[in-house]
Structure 1
Amino acid sequence: MTFPLEHHYVRTNGRTLHVVQCGPAGGPLVVLLHGFPEFWYSWRHQLPVLAAAGFRVWAPDQRGYNLSDKPTGVAAYRLSELGKDVLGLLDAAGHAQAILVGHDWGGIVAWWLAAEHSNRISRAVILNVPHPRALGQVLRQAPRQLLKSWYVFFFQLPGLPEWLFRRRRFRFGRGSLRGTSRPGTFPTEELSHYVAAWAQPGALTSMINWYRAALRHPSRTGRVTIPVQVLWGRQDAFLEPELAQLSLRHCDQATLTYFDQATHWLHQEESAEVNRLLLKFLGPELPDFPSV
């Protein structure tokens, strides 16, 4: 069965988020959390597949992105606030628990919620972002990862990252996606949607403020006790593959699947296999799981 993409505006944690929803109203809730510099559209290959399997799927533009509210000030992008946004979405959906699927920064939010609010999260799938403790460990011990993380420190500068991103019709942003992904992952017609999202008033500063808040207002992420599936593209230009394995040490129930030829953007490059693994891992949440 095919379900339409529904565009809604949902009030949560004192803010309004644009949320694309899909799937049967009574299905288990799956919340898809995008990363930088994306928005709900990054999940275009997963939304219809999860909905057809019986899940109710919500894919928000997280705060600061695209059509969602963009509060001013770095402190507004503390991890605890980002997590409260998601908890508020669960409340708005009328669900005591949900499944989280997070990529990049969305994965950081998912790690935090899985650790600190495990009563609200039944399962979590993390794509190409490590548990924060694993990242901290590697940054202290591996110069190679420190070099890969150069942009995190560049983003701390006031104004300059926004200027670089904006110039020549967002050439920096378009180049960063195409230059770190497999050829054909971001064709021109799809990049135009990204450019439109980046051009929203206040979006660039709000997006980059996630990085500024991470260093200025650090948050603790504890051990994860719920089931976790980690999916990781080995050709990630930003993160070392060993981070995935190290992340498992901070989980009680975790599995890891590497994609040897995929990059940081694996859910778009390997969408069919990612979707298959998602359905296999999330299937027990469905009443008719044996038939999935």
Structure 2
Amino acid sequence: MQIKARGLTFDVYEGGPADGAPVLLLHGFPQDHREFDLILPRLHAAGLRTYGLDQRGYSPGARPSAVADYRLDQPTADAVAVLDELGVGRAHVIGHDWGAQVGWLLADRHPDRVSTLTAVSVPHPRGLGIALHNQPSQKLRFAYMGVFRSRMAERLLLGAGGTALRQMMRPIGVRAGLYATAMREPGRLTGALNWYRALSPGQLAKVGKITVPTTYVWSDGDPVVGKPAALATATWVEADYRMVTLRGIGHWVPEEAPRALADVALARIGV
């Protein structure tokens, strides 16, 4: 369906029993709602109603041109507005990568709208910030962001038929082609990269302690997030908290380990 909110039009993909408890699915880069396809059958079988939101930059009707329009407070406000339009007061939130960042901000700023949070791959922003300050290895892991923020990023990532994008997502096999192909849409890759270009340390430093039940999923093969950042997250959750470590899995958890992620999410949701 298409949801009009905040002057933009978002593509939202619904599924599961109409009367099920709502679950908001928030994707990361360079994916879209489809990154959760492999966990949906389990969620729906458990009686949950899912809403996969293609976030700003990804939905064709939600691609503002200004980089500032991609600061994290904007997609966070989008998520709240979309829930409003859906008539959903509170939702369980599952977010991966950038979607996890939005999930953390939602839980911090709008705890009344978040029943539970399952954050995948990206830890609490303050825990991540501490690791970036104290751990040279974490800074090295984030070196790619300089490329993504550069003016040449679109050309590098889309060149040779999106070879760089496909290579980056090699662990998910043929599914990488879904996202590399989608990025050829006019303006889509620029919108997606603007999330990186708009990011500043000050945005993340303002996120406080989380007061909703939370599970953080970290995988020990993730090249993006190291163990110190993952462990630091516990300090920033005051509600019921669990950290789950997936062994031998990389960054693309919803597609590399869908069964394990579904188990974790269902346990957090409590169904």
Partners of 1:154 and 1:62 lie apart in 2 by 22
Paired AA for residue 256 in structure 1: M
Cα separation, 2, equivalents of 1:269 and 1:154: 25
Report what 1:198 is aligned to: 183
Give the match's secondary structure for 1:214.
coil
**Which runs of structure 1 show a deviation greater than 4 angstroms over 4 or more consecutive aligned residues?**
none
Native 8 Å contact 2:128 2:230 kept in 1 = no
CA distance in 2, matches of 1:68, 1:207: 14
Q: Which residue number corresponds to residue 234 of structure 2?
A: 248
Deviation at 1:191, TM superposition (A): 2.7
What's the Cα RMSD here? Answer: 1.4
Contact 1:29 1:57 (C-alpha < 8 Å) held by counterparts: yes
* Residue in structure 2 matching 1:71, options 64, 68, 92: 64
Question: Counterpart in 1 of 2:157?
Answer: 165
Counterpart residue number, 1:225: 211
Tell me, yes or no, if the aligned pair for 1:61 and 1:67 is still in contact at 8 Å: no
User: Displacement, 1:196?
Assistant: 2.5
* More deviation, 99-108/261-270: 261-270
User: For residue 88 of structure 1, what is the aligned residue in structure 2?
Assistant: 81
Would you say the 8 A contact 1:66–1:198 is kept in 2? Answer: no
Cα displacement (A) at 1:242:
2.3
Identity of aligned residues (%): 33
Match runs of 1:11-160 below 5 Å = 11-65=4-58, 67-158=60-151, 160=152
Alpha-carbon distance in structure 1 between the residues aligned to 2:114 and 2:73 = 15
**Aligned pairs, how many?**
269
Contact 1:102 1:126 in 2 (8 A): yes
Deviation for aligned residue 1:141: 0.9
Does structure 1 retain, via aligned residues, the 8 Å contact 2:10–2:59? no
For residues 20 and 74 of structure 1, what CA distance do their matches in structure 2 show? 26
> Does the 8 Å contact 1:39/1:61 carry over to 2?
yes
Q: Distance in 1 between matches of 2:179 and 2:138?
A: 27
Output the CA distance in 1 between the equivalents of 2:267 and 2:137: 34
User: Does the 8 Å contact 2:108/2:207 carry over to 1?
Assistant: yes
TM-score by length of 1: 0.88
Q: Write out per-residue CA displacement over residues 174-230 of structure 1, whole angstroms, 9 at most, x where no aligned residue.
A: 11111xx3xxx222xx23321221011101111010011112873521110110011
In 2, Cα distance between equivalents of 1:126 and 1:82: 16
Equivalent AA in structure 2 for residue 267 of structure 1: P
For structure 2, list consecutive stretches of 5 or more residues without a partner in the other structure: none
* Structure 2 contact 130–229 (Cα < 8 Å) conserved: no
Between the aligned partners of 1:245 and 1:70, the Cα distance in structure 2 is 35
CA shift in 2, pair 1:244/1:68, >3 Å? farther
CA–CA distance in structure 2, aligned partners of residues 145 and 273 of structure 1: 26
Q: 1 CA distance for matches of 2:4 and 2:42?
A: 26
8 Å Cα contact 2:9/2:59 also seen in 1: no
Equivalent residue number for residue 225 of structure 2: 239
